[in-house]
C-alpha cells in the first residue's frame, strides 16, 4: 500500500506550514488571544486561530471560517467604470465578507459562531468608530472590492483606465485575485502576516513591502 506512506509525508508538511502561520499571526494585531500584543484581546482565550477559524461545523467551509458573519445587506459602495459609464461596485462578497465580519463594527469580535465556548474580551468587544481598524458600512471612499479584474489590454482603448493586462496581474504571486478573478481585501492584505508594515510606506498586513508596489501591480503610472 502506497497511500499511507504518502500521508505520512504529507501530514508533517501541513503541520509545519500551520505552525509557520501560527508564528506569524501571533505577532500581529490579529492575535486577539490572551497573548495578543494590542489593546484589543481576550482575557480567557489562548487559541490564536479561533477568532477566525473553527475545525468543525464551519460557517463558511473554505477556509473553515468560524466567526459569525455580519448581517449588513447594503454597504455603501464606490463607483466603477462599465462600458463608458459609471455604475456602483457590487456588494462585498467572498473573503471580503470575512474581513467585514469584524471590520464593519456590527459583530462582536468574540462572536465565534457555533463554538460552544465564546471568549471574553478584556478591552473593547466590537471595533468602534474610534478605533483605527474600524471601517464601518460606508465603503464609498474605499478602493472597490469584489469586482472582477478587467483585462487592461482589452479595455485600455475603450475606457483609458490605465490598468495593466490581466496576464501581468496574474503573474504577480503576492497581489492575488480570488478564484473568480475578483479583487478582494486579501488582494492587498494578508490577514496572517504583518511582515511589511512600515508607517508611511506599507499598511498593516500589506502583501508587499510598500503601498506603491501594490498599486502598480495593476495600475499604469503615467
Which is nearer to ligand HEC, 1 or 19 (by Cβ)?
19
Residues in contact with ligand HEC, shown as a per-residue x/- string from 47 to 66 under the rule CB under 6 A: -xx-xxx---------x---
The verdict on 157 binding ligand HEC (CB under 6 A) reads no
2 vs 130, which CB is nearer to ligand HEC? 130
Which CB sits closer to ligand HEC, 5 or 85? 85
Tell me which of 72, 170, 203, 210 binds ligand HEC, using CB under 6 A: 203
Of 143, 144, 76, residue with least CA distance to 104: 76
How far apart are the C-alpha atoms of 126 and 14, rounded to whole Å? 33
Where would I find the H helices in the chain? 3-26, 94-103, 152-159, 166-170, 185-188, 211-218
Phi-psi region of 210 (alpha: psi -120 to 50; beta: other; left: phi over 0): beta
Nine-digit cell string for 208: 508587499
**Separation of alpha carbons 208 and 194, rounded Å:** 10
3-state secondary structure of 165: coil
CB of 24 to ligand HEC, least distance (A): 7
> What's the min distance (Å) between Cβ of 140 and ligand HEC?
11
Residue 96 touching ligand HEC (CB under 6 A)? yes
Cell numbers at residue 49, please?
Answer: 486561530
Binding of residue 161 to ligand HEC (CB under 6 A): yes
* 141 in Cβ contact with 79 (< 8 Å): no
Using DSSP, state whether 147 is helix, strand or coil. Answer: coil
CB of 115 to ligand HEC, least distance (A): 12
Interacting residues toward ligand HEC by CB under 6 A: 18, 21-22, 25, 29-30, 32, 38, 40, 48-49, 51-53, 63, 67, 80-81, 92, 95-96, 98-103, 109, 127, 131-133, 135, 143-145, 147, 149-150, 161, 163, 169, 175, 183, 185-189, 191-192, 203-205, 211, 214-215, 217-219
Amino acid at each position: 500500500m502506497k497511500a499511507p506512506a504518502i500521508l505520512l509525508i504529507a501530514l508533517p508538511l501541513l503541520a509545519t506550514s500551520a505552525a509557520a502561520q501560527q508564528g506569524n499571526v501571533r505577532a500581529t494585531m490579529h492575535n486577539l488571544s490572551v497573548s495578543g500584543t494590542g489593546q484589543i484581546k481576550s482575557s480567557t482565550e489562548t487559541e490564536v486561530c479561533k477568532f477566525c477559524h473553527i475545525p468543525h461545523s464551519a460557517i463558511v467551509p473554505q477556509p473553515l471560517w468560524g466567526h459569525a458573519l455580519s448581517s449588513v445587506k447594503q454597504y455603501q459602495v464606490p463607483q466603477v467604470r462599465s462600458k463608458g459609464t459609471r455604475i456602483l461596485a457590487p456588494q462585498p462578497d467572498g473573503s471580503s465578507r470575512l474581513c467585514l465580519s469584524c471590520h464593519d463594527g456590527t459583530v462582536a469580535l468574540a462572536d465565534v459562531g457555533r463554538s460552544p465556548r465564546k471568549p471574553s474580551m478584556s478591552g473593547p468587544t466590537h471595533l468602534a468608530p474610534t478605533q483605527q481598524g474600524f471601517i464601518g458600512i460606508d465603503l464609498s471612499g474605499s478602493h472597490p472590492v469584489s469586482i472582477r479584474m478587467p483585462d487592461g489590454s482589452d479595455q485600455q482603448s475603450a475606457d483609458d483606465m490605465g490598468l495593466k493586462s490581466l496576464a501581468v496581474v496574474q503573474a504577480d504571486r503576492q497581489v492575488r485575485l480570488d478564484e473568480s478573478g475578483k479583487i478582494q481585501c486579501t488582494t492587498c492584505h494578508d490577514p496572517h502576516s504583518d511582515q511589511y508594515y512600515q508607517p508611511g510606506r506599507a499598511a498593516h498586513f500589506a502583501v508587499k513591502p510598500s503601498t506603491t508596489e501594490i498599486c502598480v501591480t495593476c495600475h499604469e503610472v503615467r
